[in-house]
Chains A and B, each alone.
Chain A
Amino acid sequence: MTSADTISSETIDVSVWRGGAEGRYETFAVPLRQNQTILDVVTWIQRNADPTLSYRFACRVGMCGSCAMTVNGRPRWTCRTHVSKVVENGKVELGPLANLPVIKDLAADMTSFFEKWQKADGAFVPSKTRHDPIEEILPNTPARIEASAAIECINCGICFAACDTVRWQDEYLGPAALNRAWTLVNDERDAGKSDRLRAVAAAGGCHACHSHQSCEQHCPQKLNPTASIAGLKRLTMHAYLRGDL
């Protein structure tokens, strides 16, 4: 590290959750650097202060969705969150994502998050085989526009951690899984639409959403799962009134 990398000899106080469900916050003094991200801070602590610190990351550039944590009470992707934007009075508090069990320190157990993707029929069901010609997908059909607006989810779990309804209702599928289902019901190549509508209309499905819009507020990809869920509510209600559900 050269002196140009440092803003000054200043440090910030970083409180980090240690332990599982039972645990406590441990404070580290971390040198302040230019363009430093929260993930940089966590990595500094692990390499220089305590190698037993557990956390999760992979790409470091906002693509993989692995490094989400609770930063000063809000769920954020830590690799794209600059310390300068979130530091409060020289302090930062880091914890694991909310609404998920803690494995250890900053690593949350994502099992229920991904199980709910499956429960929402989040897997693509092909309507053709490899022997069929590749289907032409026009980018400007209404359904494709809806799907494209919601497709860039990176499975980071931030919306799930931010959602009040997830916190209140165990079986609620959550914004990400329902947003995924919305992209698939708008995908003309998909053959699983009626089963999927049934899955998202069951108890704990799209109708449990209160439209608080915390998912939209916190989504690092600037997606709007609330709008996707509203779309599912409309589709399932119309299907119900037609007698299809």
Chain B
Amino acid sequence: MWDLRLYVIQRATAMLMVPLILAHLVIIFYATQTGISAEGILSRTAGSLGWAVFYGVFVVLAAVHGAIGVRTVLREWSPLRGGLLDAIMFIFAALLIGLGARAVVAVTMPGGLGT
């Protein structure tokens, strides 16, 4: 039932991401409408455990969700099957988590990288 497990995990991550995406959009609108600068944003996020958890969780959910989706696309649009498909899925998820974690650390590390 590996495919069913992945299906359930992908739906669960989608549901969990809905409130995070809405919050993310609100934050983007807020940041762009109020004319806040990059330094201003980083001064608020640097050292903030709350933002680190918020975007850290977001990154993990998006990476898992997206990697399962990429596996589905490859299954339909490529001749890849079985273990190779799963290997690509895990590597893709690890890559997304790595890239995302790097960004989260950069903006929430105490002292901030950008300031």
Contacts and interface: CB of A to CB of B under 8 A. Distances in A.
B22 interface: no
Contacts of A245: 1, 4
B23 to A, nearest CB: 27
A51 B63 CA distance: 60
B4 A169 contact: no
A201 B8 contact: no
A104 interface: no
Interface in B1-55: 1-5, 7-8, 11
A165 B7 contact: no
Interface in A164-211: 165, 168-169, 198, 201-203, 205, 207-208
Interface residues of A, number: 16
Sort chain B's interface into a size bin. 10 to 19
A23 B76 CA distance: 27
B75 interface: yes
Interface of A: 165, 168-169, 198, 201-203, 205, 207-208, 233, 236-237, 240-241, 245
24 contacts: A165-B76, A168-B77, A169-B76, A198-B1, A201-B1, A202-B3, A203-B2, A203-B3, A205-B3, A207-B4, A207-B7, A233-B7, A236-B4, A237-B4, A237-B7, A237-B8, A237-B11, A240-B1, A240-B4, A240-B5, A240-B8, A241-B8, A245-B1, A245-B4
